[in-house]
Every structure is written in structure tokens, then in C-alpha cells.
Amino acid sequence: MTTLQLKNIVKRYKGQTVLDLSLDVADGERLVLFGPSGAGKTVLLRLVAGVIDPDEGRVLIGGEDMTDVDAEHRGVGMAFQNFALFPHMSAFDNIASALTARRFSKEAIAAGVEKVARLLKIDHVLSHHPKALSNGQKQRTALARALVGSPPLLLLDDPLRNVDAKLRFEMRLELPRLLAAQGATVIYVTQDYKEAMALGDRIAVMFEGQLRQIGTPADIYDTPAELEIARLFGDPTINLLDVVPQRGPDGAFAELSGVRLRLPGFGPEIVGRACVLGVRPENITFTEASAVGAIPVTVEAETPLNEKTVTLTLTARRREILVSRPAGMPGPQAGPAHLAVNSRATLLFDKGSGRLMRPSEPASKRNGEAA
Amino acid sequence: MTDIALLLKDVDKFYGPIDYGVHAVKKLSMDVRKGEIIALLGSSGCGKTSTLRMIAGFEAVSRGRISLGGREIQTFPPVRRNVAMAFEGYSLYPPLTVRENIAFALKASKLSQSTVDEKVASIARLLEIEDILGRYPSSISGGQQQRASLGRALIRDASLHLLDEPMGQLEPQLRAVLRGRIKHYIKERGLTAILVTHDQTEANALADRIAVMEGGVLQQFDTPQRIKERPANLFTGTFVGEPPMNVFEASVNASESRLAFGLKEGIRLEYAASDFSHAVRDALRKRQRVVLGVRPYAVKRSADGVTGRVAVNQWLGDQTHIAADFAGGTLVLVEHDRARLEVGQPIGIRLEPASLHVFDGESGDAISHGEELA
Amino acid sequence: MEAMSPLERVLRGIALTLVVVFFMFPIVWIFLMSFQTNETILRIPPSIVFTPTLDNYAALITGKLQTAAGTLDIAFMRNLGNSVFLSVVSVAVALALGVPAAYAFARHKFRGSEDIAFTLLSFRFAPPLLVLLPLTQYFQWLGLSNTYFGLIWVYQLICLPLILWIVRGYFEDISADVEYAYRIAGHSWFSTFRKIALPLAGPGIAAAGLLAFIFAWNNFVFALVLASADKQPVTVGALAFVTASGIQYGQIAAAIVLSITPTLALALYAQRYLVEGLSLGAVKG
């Protein structure tokens, strides 16, 4: 275990800034870096590993300044998205490569490799070359190579990207146990929000080389700091509807198809502002026409999505609203229906800046805040 | 029948000499109706791409017949088959811009320039590549190349559209959006399409029927719902479904009034015989060993059920994935609320008879499916 | 493969035969000539029926050439030895210099690296005669003309660019991640180069080495100008057969057969590497 600090790191390629951030990772923490491709996640990992150098800023591992230390002396372990196995070496030699540099005895190396191979269930294919391994075995070999030296800092660059859905799911359940047994500080890169939520103590969301939000999985899912973040978490994606809040007798409200939807906690400060209302599909249910606040819609289509059923509905103004429910629960008939929105689970974003607006906090003050 | 667009009859594919080479596709028969979207689903090496390439004419058919629109085409060269294909490896013409690449597919159609422009613009809008129409393939990303290649295939007016892993390079969010749009596009024009994919979410979302393949053999060819609810065998049952189906080997102990399954570590699942139909009871009596399958979201917690131990508890925002050590393996449960469970804590599990899939212990063929009993 | 109709099969067979005949005929002809005397070669009309003789080979190996004007000494075996020595050493030197340079060009993009790499390649474009005149002057001044050292130096103009460009393409094709992985596992850049980059670029290096060997072996102009009889390779040595009393076709043919045999054997042996290496170099270069 160790800590990692990135202080004012800047990296440019051909005059373009691809990374500009500071980041602190605690001892033994599992931090997930999440963001679309091109966000700079892989660049960040490489900077930490030491195979590329930052243009500005310092990299501290365990409190020690490692910025000018070569990759082979940083003592980190890394698994690559494309596995990056050595094609001319057997699985055994691939894994052992992380030990040979330290001049261990032959027996110690063999014992170390065997142990991690058993843990990852690849002990029966150690003599195979990468070409003869299945995708899942390749991925496990790459992981074993990163783990074998028990590095205090582990960098995992989307290690499950290139394996099939079933293996990915199995590894998602297996990895927490494996990593906990290692006791390493872990930085894990992924583009899959489920993986991020399942594996991270905290998630750092990156866009365009910048850190946009960092917090626990629940924080980010429940209170995404920006529209773009809200859109990336959740399957099916969050419903986003343009609204202009109005003044009501008990606080602000938004109007959807002529129905008033309360915006709890918001006062007059947001009235008349262009906003985007975000409601996750699982926070909308079908209800009776007579229910208070029922929004009239037409049911367009239903699609099964894994363990859920997703219904596409259209409002009178042909705005799309997705509703999801656990598979097996009875759904609505095609045609007219009514929706109930759980108003406590709604999110309100400023349309201009895309930033989340928090209740009982003057909007003007938030605008002054630095990014 | 006139509504059959494509018919494969006992198609074999050997790489190398017939009967001695690698047998990639084994006696495959299937029919595709006009206007239908079919997904060939399987892991790499299952024969799905070989099948697609035989239909397109890039691979010779070793044995069997393929007819398209009533004509046998297995000896025709690709150009005479009137089939459009989007390749996994993009395969755009490098000296042409994206716009020219897409429009190229319409060269033979003698449409007016304005009609071509309009069609290209509309498909580009659909695939969100309007901003790169003027660029060359070498200067755009893999995902953009893939969408351009898809556009080139979809814009054609062919009797069959073949899509080979058309969205593998795209980001998840974009993939989710495009799935819906592409399905709508295909349906609106009444096109017939065959999609090759290893991604079951894609197959489920796009296809009217899914052909699950493994080891060159067609395992099941049915609607997504029926494949999920009534998997024909253990392979289909565990391959399709996310998270995957839980499976446990079990011995059968059937008496007049009781039916019991013995799992590893001494776990016994007891049911009243009346929970199962006569036919199933008869089938089970003849067997000693079966494999039980339960979908993760059909597993219920219950204090008086059999016990496992919580190994992983993952909250994904709208659902909890719980993995429990159970009967010498792992049992996965999905719940729709946040589960307050600590790792290491014992957990009571109830497997309802209606949720059980029973497979033959040797052949893996399905014996019964829970839903039909409920 | 598409299924072929019988007609297609026949046409394809004819086309292939024509191509083979076109390319193989001169080689077969030379081979036959090498077993004939000058008289049978020059008779009119020519015929492929003759009594084979080993005289041509005997003359080459003993170094005694019988002509109408008497016996001539020729140094063919020495020339052959020179060819082997010059080509092998040149390629070895070019590999030792070129492979690390290729790695540097592939992995470290610095300001002007492309220009330097291209300049090196441009040596291949310049007509050798253009380079030769000043080179002769320098070499005489430096005392390098008519030395093996000087010839090997000049041969680098042939070998080095070839190796540099082909091998560089190969190095560029190795995923940087694979090398990063080895570095992160705790190995220095040099051991990464030795244990990862070199073995993975092996086929490319072999192909480039072979090709460089063939080019060096076939070189004529540099050796003609810069070497005298005892340092000359076979390509230049074959000139000795053009004697005052006529051209010794039989011996020339035998000399050609002997001199192309090593390169031909090498090329056949390494055909696979060559094609792979060259097409890759061509695409990537």
C-alpha cells in the first residue's frame, strides 16, 4: 500500500493540452478513473508508471517525488487494455518478467508465478504462448504479470475491455476479492459505469484531460455534478428535459405536459431560468390517470434490457421519456398512460453551464465558483 | 413460400479439404423472412463470421445450399448476389472521402446527384458522422470509420444487408443510441438484415430472432424472449443473459410426493412434487444427474431458505449485484434496491420452482423451464 | 477461395506457366550454357542437344583459362572469396549500426529525426557514379582505395539505408505498450531493447539483412572503380572472361551459376521472411 499524489500535472501533445489536473489517492484506496475515450485516463496512468513524462507538475508515490525516476525503478504494477503480453514468451515467462529484474532465485520466481497463477486460475496454461491462450486467459495472464511482484501501487488500464460480457461479469465479482488480498493501492481505468461503481471506493470522472468530479459511486450516481456526467451513469440513460421553473405556492415547480412537478428545496432564485430536469428511468412509474401529478403520455415501445424492461413513452409535445421497471413486473398497455415522477429523485441542471443546481443554495453564488 | 428472403439448407464449411479440414460450420439450416433482422450470436470462432461470409460470397460453401429470394446463389460471385455488407475492419476506400465512400455504394443505381446527396446526408445524420463527411479514412478514428462503413452498407438498396460486428469500436453511449436508430432505419425501409455480433445486448436490442452458435453448430434460433425464458440447452442458458445464469450440478431424488435436488456441500433443495408437471417428474426420475440453472434476478432472499455467505456486494445505482459463496460455487443475486449486506455475512436463499431451469447432466439439453410450471 | 470452373482452371494454369517460363528461361539457359563449350554455344542454329562438359567449372576452379591465344590466369575463386567476405562483413557492420539506429528512429521522435532518416535513404537514390568520382579522390587521399576496409565502408551506402528503413518499420509495428510493460516490470531500456524489441523484430531484421546481402553481392560499380584485381568480387571478376581472343561464354555462364548460387540459395531459404519483411517495410516505411 502506498499513497499517490499528482500535483498540478500538465501534459501536452503537439501543443494541445491532454491532461491538466491534480489528484490525491489515499493509502489502500481503489480509485476508478472514468471518462469517455480521449479523456486522458490512459495518459494519466502512463505518467504515473513513468513511461511518459509530464510537461509540468510532480508525481509523488508514497510521498516520494518520482517525477524524474525511470519506470523500472518506480515499483508499480500495470495491466494494459490490449494485454501487451510478450508474444515470444510463454505465459510463465510473461508473468515472471516482473520478478526476473529483481534477481530472485529460480525457485522463488517459480513459486511466485505459480501462486498468482493459481489465484487467477491459469496455472494449467503457464507453458502456453500468448497466441495459444483464449482472450480470457490472456487477460488473466496480463493481470497476473501486474500482480506477481506485489507492487504497492497497481495501475489497471481497462483490463476487462477486451473480454466478453460473461468473463467481464465474472471478473467484476472476482477482482474486489483479489485486490483486497493484494492490499495494494489501485487505480483502475474503465469506460463502463457499472464496472466503475462496482469496483471503486471513489470514482474520478474525467473529461478532456480534466477532473470534473470525484466521489463515492453513490455520490456520483445520485448527485452528478454535470449533465455530461449524469448522462454517462445509468442504463438506460437519464431522461433530460428542458424546463423553465415557475413560481408556485410552495416553492418552484416545472411544468411537464401541463402538469406541475414540484422541485423540492428550490426557491424563487431559479424561476425563469433555462434548466434541464434530469430523472432516471427507474424513478418514474406508471400510475392512474386520477393520481395527483400524473403526467399523460403515450406508450411507444418496450424493450427488455437485461434484468429490466424499458418503456419508451412520448409526451404530448413528443418529448421522449424512458421508464424502466424490474423484469417480470407487469407493464402498461400500448397507447395512453400516465407517469408518476419521484420528485425527490429529480436533478436540476443549469442549461447554460450544464452544472448541477443544488437546492437551498443561491444560484448566483455557485456561478462564481471556480471549476 | 414467398416471404422467405434467405434460406440456408444443410450448409457445411470446411477450411481445407471437405470432411478432413477444419469444420467451421456444421450442417447449418435456417430461414430468414423478408423484413426480418437476424442476429448471429456467439463467441469468437463459433462459425458466425464464416456463415456471414458464405452468404456474402467471400467464402465458398463446402456443402449445402443457400438461396436468396428463391434463387440458389452459393456458386454466384459476390457482385451477383445483391448483398450489402458492413465489415468489421471498416474497409473504406482510402483515396475517397467519407462522403464519396458512402455515395460509392449508389454508383450503380443511376440516381440523380441531388438524390444521392440527400441520402448520404440523411444516413450521416443517423450515424452522427455529418461533420466528417469531407475527411479521408486515414484521418478519422476507428469508431468513425466503422460508422462510415456501416453507412455505406445501409444506404444501398440490396435484398440482404449483412453487418459484421458493426458497432464493436463505438463507445457504449453512442452504441446504445445507434442501436435504436439503426433498427428503426431498417424496419422503416423493410430491409432484411443479418447481424453478426458477440454482444448479446446488441443482439437483443436489434434482432427479431437470434441464432446462437457455438462450435459451428446452431444451438438455438428463436426470439430473444424465448431464448431467455426457454434456453434449449445449457450453453444457450449460460451464454445469453446478463448477469449470466447461475448453474449448479445436482443429483435428483424423486419420490411420489417430494422432489429433492442434492447440491455440493450437502445443500438440499426440497420441493413438493406438485410444483412440477407430470412430464417433468417423469423425465427427472429417469436421470440421476442434472444441472440446475437460475437467473440472478430470479433468486430470492429468505430467512428460512438454504444458506450462502456474502462474498461481494456491488451497488450500481439502480440495482445491487450480490455474489454469495454457495454450494461450492458462486451464486449471483440481483436486487433492485440497495442491499445492506456485509461481506462474510450469511444469507438465506430461496430458489422458487418457477425460477428453475433443469438441464440434463450429460447432454446439457433442457428438461424443463420454471416459467412454464408457474 | 471461390469455386473455379474448369475453364478458369485451365486459363489460370496457362497464365502461370507463361510467367514461370518468362522468368525462369534465362536462368535455365545460363545453367545449360555452363556445361557447354564455346563451339556448341555458338553453333547455328542453336540446339539444346549437346554433350555436357565440366571443363568450364574446372577452368574456374583451377584458375587456368584455355583460350585460342594460350593459357590465361584468372582469379575467379579469389573473387568469389572476396564477394563472400565483403558481403558478409558489410551486412554485419550495417546490422550493428543500422538496427540500433532504426530503433532510435522508430521510438524517439525528435526534431529533425524524419529528415535524418530520409537523408540516409536518399543515398539509395543517388546514381552511384555521381558519388564515385569524389569518393575515389578521397579514398586515394586517405589511402583507403583498394582496401577491404574502404570497400566495406562504401558498401554501407548500399546496406545501411536498406536495413534502417526496413527494420524501422518493424520496430514501429511493435506495440509501445509491450515495451512499456517490460519497463514497468523493472527492466532497463537496454534490456527491453534486447529482450523484447530485437526478438520481435527478428523476421524483419533477417529479411533486411538478406536483402542487404544480395544487394552487396550484386554490386558492380563501386568495386570496379575502388578495387584492383585481388580485392575484386565476382561481379567485376567476370570481366576477365572477355579476353583478347573472344568472349568465353561457357566460363561466363559457369561463373554466373557459381556466383548466383549463394544468393539464390539464401533467398529460397528465407523466402518467407523476405516477403514478410519487405511488404511490411514497404507499407510502414
Q: Do A217 and B315 touch (CB under 8 A)?
A: yes
Cβ separation A165–B242 shorter than 8 A:
yes
**Residue B209 sits in the same domain as residue B300:** no
Total domain count, chain B: 2
Q: Which CA distances in Å does B102 have to A92, B187, C37?
A: 48, 20, 67
Could you tell me if residue A368 is inside a domain? Answer: no
Q: How far is C156 from chain B (nearest CA, A)?
A: 35
User: Does B3 lie at the interface with A, CB-CB under 8 angstroms?
Assistant: no
Reported for C201-204, long-range contacts at CB under 8 A and 24+ positions apart, including other chains, are C201/C99, C201/C167, C201/C170, C201/C171, C201/C174, C203/C170, C203/C273, C203/C276, C203/C277, C204/C166, C204/C167, C204/C169, C204/C170, C204/C171, C204/C276, C204/C277, C204/C280, C204/C281
The answer to whether the Cβ–Cβ distance between A85 and C178 falls below 8 Å is yes
Q: Which residues, 6 or more positions from A3, have their beta carbon under 8 angstroms from its beta carbon?
A: A24, A25, A26, A27, A60, A61, A62, A63, A185
> Are A130 and A21 contained in the same domain?
yes
* pLDDT, average across residues A175-203: 93
Cβ within 8 Å, pair B334-A307? yes
Assign residue A242 the CATH number of its domain.
2.40.50.140
Written as one letter, the residue type at A80 is: F
DSSP classification of residue A355: B
Report the C-alpha dihedral over residues A136, A139, A144, A145, rounded to 10 degrees: 150
CB proximity list for B31: less than 8 A, separation 6 or greater = B4, B6, B7, B8
| A208 and A59 in a common domain | yes
Interface of A with C in 67-86 (CB under 8 A): 70-78, 80, 82, 84-86
Which residues 182-241 on chain A approach chain C with CB closer than 8 angstroms?
none
Pairwise CB contact (< 8 Å): A49 & C180? yes
Closest CA in chain C for residue A87: C200
pLDDT classification of A368: cutoffs 50, 70, 90: very low
Sign, CA torsion A129/A131/A134/A136: positive
Cβ-count burial C20-35 (b if 16+ within 10 Å, e if not): eeeeeeeeeebeebbb
Q: Are residues A130 and A153 in the same domain?
A: yes
Domain at B255, CATH number? 2.40.50.140
Distance CA A228, CA A261 (A): 23
User: Are B250 and B116 in a shared domain?
Assistant: no
With a CB cutoff of 8 Å and minimum separation 6, the contacts of C141 are none
Distance CA C267, CA C246 (A): 34
Which chain C residues are within 8 Å of A98, Cβ to Cβ? Answer: 185-186
Whether residue B200 lies within 8 A of chain A, CB to CB, comes out as yes
Q: What is the CATH number of the domain that holds A107?
A: 3.40.50.300
Q: Is residue B149 domain-resident? A: yes
Which cell numbers hold the place of B122? 440523411
- Total number of residues shown for chain A: 371
Task: For an interface test with B, give the residue of C1, C2, C4 to mutate (most B CBs within 10 A).
Answer: C2
Do the domain assignments include residue A366?
no
Nearest CA to A23 out of A69, A75, A59, A53 is that of A59
Q: Which residues sit opposite B306 in a β-bridge?
A: B349
Per-residue pLDDT of chain B (374 residues; tens, 9 = 90+): 468 999 999 999 999 888 998 999 999 999 999 999 999 999 888 999 999 999 999 999 999 999 998 899 998 988 889 999 988 766 889 999 999 999 998 887 788 899 999 999 999 999 999 999 999 998 888 889 999 999 999 999 899 999 999 888 887 778 878 888 899 899 999 999 999 998 888 999 899 999 999 999 999 999 998 999 899 999 999 999 888 999 999 999 988 889 999 999 999 999 998 888 888 888 888 888 999 999 998 999 998 888 999 999 999 998 999 999 999 999 999 998 888 899 999 999 999 988 999 999 999 999 988 755 43
Structural domain tally of chain A?
2
CB B289 within 8 A of CB B364: no
Residues of B with Cβ-Cβ distance to A217 under 8 angstroms: 315, 317
Closest CA–CA distance from residue C210 to any residue of chain A (Å): 22
Whether residue A2 has pLDDT greater than 90: no
CATH number at residue B36: 3.40.50.300
Q: Does A156 touch chain C (CB under 8 A)?
A: no
Q: Is A209 left (phi over 0), alpha (psi -120 to 50) or beta?
A: left
The domain boundary, picked from A225, A247, A270, lies at: A225
> Between the ranges A226-230, B366-370, C261-265, where is the mean pLDDT highest?
A226-230
Q: Are the beta carbons of A192 and B172 separated by less than 8 Å?
A: yes
Instruction: Kindly list the residues from chain B whose CB atom is less than 8 angstroms away from the CB atom of residue C1.
Output: 60
- The verdict on residue A56 lying in a domain is yes
User: Is residue C283 less than 8 Å (CB to CB) from chain B?
Assistant: no
Say whether both B226 and B193 belong to one domain: yes
What's the whole-number average pLDDT of chain C?
A: 83
CA distance B243 to chain A (A): 7
Question: Given A199, A225, A251, which residue is the final one in a domain?
Answer: A225
Angle at B315 between CA B311 and CA B319, to 5 degrees: 110
- For chain A, first and last CA: distance in Å? 31
Question: Which residues does A296 contact at the CB level (< 8 Å), separation at least 6?
Answer: A257, A259, A289, A315, A316, A336, A337, A338
Per-residue pLDDT reduced to its tens digit, C90-136? 999 999 999 999 999 998 877 888 888 888 778 777 777 788 888 88
Q: Give the mean model confidence (pLDDT) for residues A114-131.
A: 93
Contact B290, B274 (CB under 8 A): no
Q: Check residue C283 and give its pLDDT.
A: 37
CATH number belonging to the domain at C76-284, selected among 2.60.40.10, 3.40.190.150, 1.10.3720.10, 3.20.20.140 = 1.10.3720.10
**β-strand A30-34 against A185-190: which pairing, if any?**
parallel
Residue B276 pLDDT = 86
C-chain CB neighbours of B75 within 8 Å are 3
Closest Cα of chain C to A272: distance in Å? Answer: 53
Cell of C100: 540500433
Portions of chain C given CATH number 1.10.3720.10: 76-284
Query: Is residue B240 in a domain?
Result: no
One-letter amino acid for residue C53 of the chain: T
Q: Is the pLDDT of residue C280 over 60?
A: no
Where does a domain end: A197, A225, A253?
Answer: A225
Half-sphere exposure at residue B274, Cβ-oriented, CA atoms within 13 angstroms: 0
Task: Examine the pLDDT at A120 and tell me if it is beyond 60.
Answer: yes
The pLDDT, as a whole number, for residue A360 is: 65
Other CB atoms within 10 Å distance of the CB of residue B97: 18
Nearest CA in chain B to C4: B75
For chain B, the residues whose C-beta falls within 8 A of a C-beta of chain C are: 57, 60, 75, 77
Residue A369 covered by a domain: no
What number is the ipTM of this complex? 0.85
**What 3-state class would DSSP assign to C7?**
helix
Domain boundary among B233, B256, B272: B233
pTM of the model: 0.82
Are residues A196 and A254 part of one domain? no
Helix ranges (H only) for A302-362 are none
* Grid coordinates given for A267: 426557491
Which chains pack against C, by 3+ Cβ pairs within 8 A? A, B
The dihedral of CA B318, B323, B326, B328: what is its sign?
A: positive
**Helix segments in A77-192, DSSP class H:** 91-100, 106-119, 135-147, 165-182
Residue among A223, A306, A325 with most chain B CBs within 10 A, to mutate: A306
| Same domain assignment for residues A20 and A44 | yes
* B228 plus B261 within the same structural domain: no
Sheet holding A16-25, edge to edge: A16-25, A4-13, A56-61, A64-65
User: Do residues A347 and A318 both lie within one domain?
Assistant: yes
CB count in 10 Å sphere of residue A38: 15
Nearest to A84 among C181, C187, C191 (CB): C181
- Looking at the structure, do residues B260 and B220 belong to the same domain, yes or no? no
Statement to judge: residues B204 and B149 lie in one domain: yes
Confidence (pLDDT) at A257: 87
Is A171 inside a domain boundary? Answer: yes
The parent domain of residue B14 ranges over: 4-233
In terms of DSSP bridges, do strands B37-41 and B83-86 run parallel, antiparallel, or are they unpaired?
A: unpaired
Among the three residues B233, B263, B285, which one is the final residue of a domain in this structure?
Answer: B233
Range of the domain at A146: 4-225
Considering the domain architecture, whether residues A158 and A259 belong to the same structural domain is answered as: no
Q: Are B323 and B312 in contact (CB under 8 A)?
A: yes
- Name which of A332, A240, A238 is nearest A289 in CA terms: A332
The shortest CB-CB distance from B173 to any of A165, A173, A231 is to A231
Query: Are B77 and C1 inside 8 Å of each other by CB?
Result: no
Do A322 and A179 fall into the same domain? no
B66 within a domain of the structure (yes/no): yes
3 state DSSP class of A14: coil
Q: Rounded mean pLDDT of C147-160?
A: 89
The residue of chain C nearest to residue A81, with distances taken between CA atoms, is C177
Which 8-state DSSP code applies to residue C43? -
In tens, the pLDDT along A320-339 reads 899 999 877 888 888 899 99
Residue C209: C-alpha distances to residues A104, C156, C194, C198, C265 (Å): 37, 12, 18, 14, 15
Rounded distance, CA B52 to CA B67, Å? Answer: 13
Asked if the Cβ–Cβ distance from A197 to B314 is below 8 Å, we say yes
Average pLDDT over residues C160-170: 90
| Closest chain C residue by Cα to residue A156 | C181
Percent of chain A with pLDDT over 90: 66
Residue B238 resides in a domain: no
B130 and B194 both lie in a single domain: yes
Query: Residue C124 in contact with residue C162, Cβ under 8 Å?
Result: yes
List pLDDT tens digits, range C174-198.
999 999 999 999 999 999 999 999 9
- Sign of torsion, CA A243 A248 A251 A256? negative
Question: What per-residue confidence (pLDDT) applies to A250?
Answer: 79
To the nearest whole percent, how much of chain C has pLDDT over 70? 90
Q: Are A296 and A220 in the same domain? A: no
B193-197/B37-41 β-pairing: parallel
Q: Which long-range contacts (CB under 8 A, 24 or more apart) does B56-62 make?
A: B56/B81, B56/B83, B56/B85, B56/B162, B57/B81, B57/B83, B57/C2, B59/B13, B60/C1, B60/C2, B60/C3, B61/B11, B61/B12, B61/B13, B62/B12, B62/B13, B62/B14, B62/B18
Report if residue B334 sits inside a domain: yes
Collapsing DSSP to helix, strand or coil, C163 comes out as helix
Each residue's pLDDT tens digit, C54-86 = 888 888 888 777 666 667 677 788 888 889 999
Q: Residues of B with CB below 8 A from C2's CB?
A: 57, 60, 77
pLDDT at A182 over 50: yes
Question: DSSP assignment, residue A294?
Answer: P
Number of B:C CB contacts under 8 A? 6
Between A33 and C49, the higher pLDDT residue: A33
- Residue B241 belongs to a domain: no
Number of CB pairs, chain A paired with chain C, less than 8 A apart = 64
Model confidence at A29, pLDDT cuts 50, 70, 90, reads very high
CB contact under 8 A, A80 and C200: no
Candidates B182, B318, B322: best to mutate against A (most CBs of A within 10 A) is B318
Q: Is residue A248 part of a domain?
A: yes
In chain B, residues with a C-beta closer than 8 Å to the C-beta of A280 are 317-318
Domain stops at, among B233, B265, B297: B233
Torsion of CA B360, B364, B366, B370, to 10 degrees: 80
Average pLDDT over residues C142-160: 88
- For residue C250, is pLDDT > 90? no
Question: Does residue B292 sit in the same domain as residue B337?
Answer: yes
Report the alpha-carbon distance of residue C203 to residue C211 in Å, rounded. Answer: 12
B300 touches chain A (CB under 8 A): no
Torsion over CA: C109, C112, C114, C117 (sign): negative
Q: Are residues B215 and B279 in the same domain?
A: no
Is any Cβ of chain B less than 8 angstroms from the Cβ of C177? Answer: no
| pLDDT given at position A183 | 87
**Sheet with B71-72, edge to edge strand ranges:** B22-33, B4-15, B63-68, B71-72
CA atoms within 13 A on the CB side of A4: 27
> Is residue B229 domain-shared with residue B274, that is, in the same domain?
no
